[in-house]
Each structure stands twice: as C-alpha cells, then as structure tokens.
Amino acid sequence: MAESERLSGCIEWIDLSFVERKRTPEWAIQVGIQCHLAGMSTRDASQFLDELGVQRSHVAVHNWVHKADLQPISTVIADQIAVDEKVIRVNGDDYWLYGAVDPETNEILQFRLFSTTTKQTTRWFLADLHRRYQLDGVEFLVDDADYLVNVLDEDGYRFQMISHGNRNAIERVFWEIERRTSSFATSFSHINPPTAESWLQALAVRHNSRQN
C-alpha cells in the first residue's frame, strides 16, 4: 500500500494553536504530523511534503509532533476500562508504559510512561485517569499484573482479573505499539522519555480519531 493511501479521514483532531510563525502552511503541518503517526518515518514524511511542494526537514516534522502536545480525550463514560502495563525501552533503559482502553469503543483513554513500576506510579496513573474521566462505578479489567491488582484492591476499586474477552482491547493496543516500534526493536533511541511519552499520546489521539 502506498504511504499516501494511509492518510484517509479527517485531520481536524490536530490542534495547531502551537504554531507561532506562518513559515509553513497549516495544512502541510497537519499532513506532516499525520504522515508520521500513520507509520512514516520523519524523513519519509519530510520527503512526502517535498513532493507536495513544501520543503521542510525531518527535524521540523519531529518538532511539530512534539509541540502539538496531543492528548487522548474521550467523551465516552465507560462501564469497564481495560488497564495494563508493558515494558518498553528508551535509550537502552527499561520504562513502564501504563495504558487504559475503553473496550466498547477501543478508544485509548490514557498512556503514561514511568521509569519504574511501583504502587506509587500505579496510583499516579489511576489518579490521572480520575482527573480526565468520570470513573465512579467503573470496573477495571486487569490480568495478574502485581501492582495494578494490589492497588486496585487496596484502594477499593471495582476490578475483575481476566485474561480474555473485553480485556483483549488493551492487548490489541499494545500489539499496535509493538508493531509501530518494531524497527527499533520495541524501543525508542536518541530521544528522551518525555518525548517518547508525547509520541505515544499523539499516537493515541490518531488511533481514537479512526474509531469514530
């Protein structure tokens, strides 16, 4: 499939309020961001823009994605939320990616990246979900991840330990992350953790835009 064929659908989910100068047409910035999140490298996205008559470097494309500060937002009030954590590598070090997905809509509700996994990082992740969404009465679907199970139990959350069914929604999302980072051996190189987290959240926004 040609890379340009991946760029279907609306791109209004990209907020360009971060743009201070009019050096680049806004449509080109939107296309550059979407190209990269659709699977192109920043160099390929830069080359694609060049074919459209806009010459910008791969560094510019990288900066657009980072500065856009895309955050996954959902208006869905879920009855269940699938949560999990996964080890990924950033510049040779292990980091823990926490994720939450609405299994009914397959929308990603949140991604957070931490340098360690503890009860405290788990509570930070769940607190962030509380700030963003209405979680009263929500049932969390979780596998046997120690800290998630322990914190959910200790803090009085409703949860169900399950390894199939609706919890597969988070597994599918993590599989997509693995697919997108396969060229880096499921790791990020030459970027710092905040930039990696920013890219993951931007990917979540694009993912959600394709579920509607």
* Domain end call among 68, 99, 120: 68
Residue predicted with more confidence, 95 or 206: 95
* pLDDT tens-place string over residues 44-99: 888 888 888 888 888 888 788 777 767 766 666 668 889 988 888 887 788 898 99
SS3 content of the chain, % helix, strand, coil (to 5): 45, 20, 35
Q: Provide the number of structural domains found in the chain.
A: 2
* pLDDT tens-place string over residues 127-137: 888 888 877 78
The 10 Å Cβ neighbour count of residue 208 is: 21
Same-domain pairing of 58 and 113: no
* Domain end call among 68, 102, 124: 68
The 10 Å Cβ neighbour count of residue 40 is: 20
Q: Give burial (CB, 10 Å; 0-12/13-18/19+) of 21.
A: exposed
- CATH at residue 101: 3.30.420.10
What are the tokens at 20?
A: 């201070």
- Checking if the pLDDT of 103 tops 50, the result is yes
Domain extent, residue 121, equals 80-209
Split at pLDDT 50, 70, 90, the class of 30 is confident
Same-domain pairing of 47 and 95: no
Percent pLDDT > 90 in the chain is: 11
Same-domain pairing of 15 and 51: yes
Whether 74 maps to a domain, the answer reads no
Residue with tokens 């993951």, as numbered in its chain: 200
Question: What is the pTM for the complete model shown?
Answer: 0.68
Give the helix/strand (H/E) hosting 100. strand 93-102
Residue predicted with more confidence, 181 or 208: 208
Give the helix/strand (H/E) hosting 107. strand 107-114
CA angle 91, 45, 72 (to 5 degrees): 65
Cα-only R_g, the chain:
18
CA distance 186 to 132: 28
Same-domain pairing of 64 and 132: no
The 10 Å Cβ neighbour count of residue 190 is: 8
**Helix (DSSP H) and strand (DSSP E) numbers for the chain:** 7, 6
